[in-house]
Amino acid sequence: MTPTPTWYLVLAALLFAIGAVGLLVRRNPLVMFMCVELMLNAVNLTFVSFARALDDIGGQVVVLFVMVVAAAEVVVGLAILVSVLRTRPGATADDISMLKG
């Protein structure tokens, strides 16, 4: 029994829903950041699934660009989060407003 593209799309929808709920419910910035990454991975799975089903390389090229943007987001986002969490260990997403200059 081989998995069909529908299975991958259902898995991607489930991962995206988990990430969206986690982003809306949690107030910890690090957990919110991980939920955004989970949502990006769900979108990547969708692109790869469609690229495989349609026998087109375009979806995999888009995934490569999304992964590059996600890596840049991780570098900048984690640097900001670490700097905020060092000054306030119990910081929530509302405390990010202290970064205003």
Residue-level pLDDT at 33: 86
Residue-level pLDDT at 49: 94
For residues 2-30, give the mean pLDDT: 92
Residue-level pLDDT at 47: 94
Residue-level pLDDT at 63: 93
CA–CA separation, 50 vs 60, rounded Å?
9
Decide if pLDDT at 43 tops 90: yes
Average pLDDT of the chain? 88
User: How much is the pTM?
Assistant: 0.82
Decide if pLDDT at 23 tops 70: yes
Through-space distance between the first and last CA atoms of the chain, rounded to whole angstroms: 58
